[in-house]
């Protein structure tokens, strides 16, 4: 199986190769096979990317928003036309099953292009009357933005970052995760085919050092990172040296609270989606499932039954419901957390081992019950198919325990009592919340975290704030009244 791109980078409207950069092997996680090799960006590639973005951005900022929007809509149409092939590539890059990549990854990226195409021409300033004089405001692009992606949703992340950036008149240099470098290159080629001027969306490959070189370049006005909290802290600090704008979409350890009046079937389904979709490699997952004691036994029984039926297998077979983890490193990390869960006394309900397929980085869907707040698996982000179920008695108690973490990305509540649902949501310290649903992230809704889970928001009208800045213009209508 091969998925070798035409070159490692896409810069200034064309594929670009520079073999002087260190090679990075792209591995298909279902087999361990090397499907492509790309080279890290050299200083020359980074320079070409930033220089062409800076050059192209000035002219792009001067175009009418409706003209920018037309190009983004065309690109969205191309993505939808090519979705089957793009989904297959996403599956090879990440190991996620086609059953998911066909409906979730590029389709959600295309939604972002359509949404921000529609939004851009409606973005206006305001007029502030001051009697004789007045102020008007303009919402202007920031300039050259850097996007840095994680490996779990590589193409969706590239779309979610580039769509608002481009729609509002910015350019973007994007660095995918070294683990999943393929999808963003396809997006760059599609943008050019759709009519985007060269240089406005460049893709350069590399590990953290390439990201760090981009973040500290004086031409860069904004950095948007999706990644872990430790990387976020480093990138935020580097961006701060140049007083750059940032969006930080970081990790989480989100609570999903199930009250005993909830529908067991719906709550179990949501908990499974919020822990096992993409083999658990989703930042907003509800990995601390708090279940009220009155419903606990029924909840665990149905959860064990339904989890044991999940179909693991060849990600390219559309019947497969769960694929492997993204890498050998991630497999080791997740197996380590499972071992720690056992050692610290959590009760294994189902799963708990590497899945017995011949190859690939598969882990069984795993559920631990009787988890306590102090256990490692209840405190640290695992990023694998490992659910921790904790018991609780009262609303007050569960709210305090749910908030007792430095993370604040997401939270969910299942209950038939809607007054309680809104009350609990009001008390939860999290940026993205659900009531009687979990992990649905439509592009219309702002997405992002509180506390250490991030700064800024992606998607929705909120993203406009993070890819533009206000210019305030005072207009003097009379003579200047100077005292000297």
Is residue 384 close enough to count as binding ligand NDP by CB under 6 A? no
Is residue 287 close enough to count as binding ligand NDP by CB under 6 A? no
Q: Which two tokens stand for residue 442?
A: 């439509």
Is residue 147 close enough to count as binding ligand NDP by CB under 6 A? no
How far apart are CB 291 and ligand NDP at their closest, in Å? 23
Is residue 211 close enough to count as binding ligand NDP by CB under 6 A? yes
Out of 170, 177, 247, 364, the residue judged to bind ligand NDP by CB under 6 A: 177
How far apart are CB 327 and ligand NDP at their closest, in Å? 9
Closest Cα to residue 61, out of 471, 420, 483, 436?
Answer: 471
Phi, psi of 289 (to 5 degrees): -95, 105
Catalytic residue among 90, 96, 161, 189: 161
Closest Cα to residue 41, out of 56, 19, 26?
Answer: 19
Is residue 255 close enough to count as binding ligand NDP by CB under 6 A? no
**For the range 428-431, what are the long-range contacts, defined as Cβ-Cβ under 8 Å and sequence gap of 24 or more?**
428/255, 428/399, 428/402, 428/403, 429/403, 430/254, 430/255, 431/457
- Give CA–CA dist 294/261, Å, rounded: 9
Catalytic residue among 40, 114, 189, 283: 283
Is residue 407 close enough to count as binding ligand NDP by CB under 6 A? no
The three-state (H, E, C) secondary structure of 73-85, written as one string: HHHHHHHHHCHHH
Phi-psi region of 384 (alpha: psi -120 to 50; beta: other; left: phi over 0): beta
How far apart are CB 252 and ligand NDP at their closest, in Å? 6
Is residue 146 close enough to count as binding ligand NDP by CB under 6 A? no
Catalytic annotation present for 140: no
> Would you say 266 and 436 are in contact if contact means Cβ atoms under 8 Å apart?
yes
Out of 31, 202, 231, 366, the residue judged to bind ligand NDP by CB under 6 A: 231
Is residue 212 close enough to count as binding ligand NDP by CB under 6 A? yes
Is residue 283 close enough to count as binding ligand NDP by CB under 6 A? yes
How far apart are CB 236 and ligand NDP at their closest, in Å? 10
- Give CA–CA dist 453/406, Å, rounded: 8
Out of 69, 119, 235, 428, the residue judged to bind ligand NDP by CB under 6 A: 235
Give whichever of 116 and 407 is closer to ligand NDP, judged by the CB atom: 407
Number of residues that bind ligand NDP (CB under 6 A): 31
**Stretch of 44-52, 77-85, 222-230, 372-380 lying at the interface with ligand NDP (CB under 6 A):** 222-230
Catalytic annotation present for 2: no
Is residue 45 close enough to count as binding ligand NDP by CB under 6 A? no
Out of 10, 115, 151, 467, the residue judged to bind ligand NDP by CB under 6 A: 151
Give whichever of 445 and 475 is closer to ligand NDP, judged by the CB atom: 445
Is residue 150 close enough to count as binding ligand NDP by CB under 6 A? yes
**Stretch of 26-34, 150-158, 361-369, 416-424 lying at the interface with ligand NDP (CB under 6 A):** 150-158
Beta-strand ranges (E) seen in 236-369 are: 245-249, 255-258, 288-292, 347-350, 366-369
Catalytic annotation present for 249: yes
Is residue 111 close enough to count as binding ligand NDP by CB under 6 A? no
Is residue 159 close enough to count as binding ligand NDP by CB under 6 A? no
Out of 207, 219, 333, 420, the residue judged to bind ligand NDP by CB under 6 A: 207
Enumerate the β-bridge partners of residue 276. none
Catalytic residue among 90, 178, 189, 249: 249
Catalytic annotation present for 458: yes
Burial of 66 (0-12, 13-18, 19+ CB in 10 A): exposed
Stretch 430-449 residues interacting with ligand NDP (CB under 6 A): 449
- Give CA–CA dist 92/194, Å, rounded: 25
> Would you say 49 and 202 are in contact if contact means Cβ atoms under 8 Å apart?
yes
How far apart are CB 384 and ligand NDP at their closest, in Å? 11
Give whichever of 166 and 250 is closer to ligand NDP, judged by the CB atom: 250
Out of 156, 170, 202, 226, the residue judged to bind ligand NDP by CB under 6 A: 226
- Give CA–CA dist 215/456, Å, rounded: 17
> Would you say 381 and 337 are in contact if contact means Cβ atoms under 8 Å apart?
no
Out of 56, 249, 271, 455, the residue judged to bind ligand NDP by CB under 6 A: 249
Inter-CA distances, 209 with 152, 217, 361, 427, Å: 20, 13, 27, 40
Beta-strand ranges (E) seen in 22-176 are: 23-28, 33-39, 127-130, 133-141, 144-148, 171-175
Phi, psi of 23 (to 5 degrees): -70, 145
Phi, psi of 234 (to 5 degrees): -65, -45
Inter-CA distances, 419 with 1, 260, 262, 401, Å: 54, 15, 13, 20
Chain residue whose CB lies nearest ligand NDP: 211
Cα 37 to its chain centre, rounded Å, is 24
User: Mind telling me the catalytic residues?
Assistant: 161, 249, 283, 458
Q: Which residues bind ligand NDP (CB under 6 A)?
A: 148-152, 175, 177-179, 207-208, 211-212, 215, 225-228, 231, 234-235, 249-252, 283, 381, 383, 409, 449, 454
């Amino acid at each position: 199986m091969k998925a070798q791109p035409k070159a490692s980078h896409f810069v200034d409207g064309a594929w670009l190769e520079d073999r002087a950069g260190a090679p990075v092997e792209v591995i298909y996680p279902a087999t361990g096979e090397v499907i492509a090799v790309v080279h890290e960006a050299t200083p020359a590639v980074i320079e070409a990317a930033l220089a062409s973005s800076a050059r192209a951005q000035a002219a792009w900022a001067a175009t009418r928003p409706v003209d920018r929007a037309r190009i983004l809509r065309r690109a969205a149409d191309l993505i939808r036309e090519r979705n089957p092939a793009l989904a297959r590539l996403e599956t090879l890059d990440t190991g996620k099953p086609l059953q998911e990549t066909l409906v979730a990854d590029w389709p959600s990226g295309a939604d972002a292009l359509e949404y921000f195409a529609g939004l851009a021409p409606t973005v206006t300033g305001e007029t502030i009357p001051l009697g004789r004089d007045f102020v008007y405001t303009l919402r202007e692009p920031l300039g050259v933005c850097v996007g840095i992606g994680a490996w779990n949703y590589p193409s969706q992340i590239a779309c979610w970052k580039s769509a608002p950036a481009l729609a509002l008149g910015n350019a973007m240099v994007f660095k995918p995760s070294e683990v999943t470098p393929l999808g963003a290159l396809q997006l760059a080629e599609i943008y050019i085919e759709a009519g985007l001027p060269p240089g406005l969306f460049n893709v350069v490959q590399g590990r953290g050092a390439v990201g760090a070189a981009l973040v500290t370049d004086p031409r860069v006005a904004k950095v948007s990172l999706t990644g872990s909290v430790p990387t976020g802290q480093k990138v935020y600090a580097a961006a701060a040296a140049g007083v750059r704008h940032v969006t930080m979409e970081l990790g989480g350890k989100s609570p999903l609270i199930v009250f005993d009046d909830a529908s067991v079937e719906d709550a179990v389904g949501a908990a499974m989606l919020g822990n096992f979709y993409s083999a658990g490699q989703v930042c907003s997952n509800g990995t601390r499932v708090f279940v009220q004691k009155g419903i606990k036994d029924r909840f665990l029984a149905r959860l064990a039954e339904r989890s044991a039926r999940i179909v693991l297998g060849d990600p390219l077979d559309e019947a497969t419901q769960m694929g492997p983890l993204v890498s050998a490193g991630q497999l080791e990390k997740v197996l380590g957390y499972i071992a720690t869960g056992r050692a610290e006394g959590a009760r294994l309900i189902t799963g708990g081992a590497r899945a017995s397929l011949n190859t690939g980085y598969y882990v069984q869907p795993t559920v631990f019950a009787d988890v306590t707040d102090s256990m490692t698996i209840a405190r640290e982000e695992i990023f694998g198919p490992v659910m921790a179920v904790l018991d609780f008695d009262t609303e007050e108690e569960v709210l305090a325990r749910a908030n007792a973490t430095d993370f604040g990305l997401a939270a969910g509540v299942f209950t038939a009592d809607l007054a309680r649902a809104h009350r609990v949501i009001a008390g939860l310290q999290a940026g993205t919340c659900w009531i009687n649903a979990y992990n649905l992230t439509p592009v219309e809704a702002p997405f992002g975290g509180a506390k250490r889970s991030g700064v800024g928001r992606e998607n929705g009208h909120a993203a406009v704030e993070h890819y533009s800045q206000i210019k305030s213009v005072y207009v003097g209508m009379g003579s200047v009244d100077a005292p000297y």
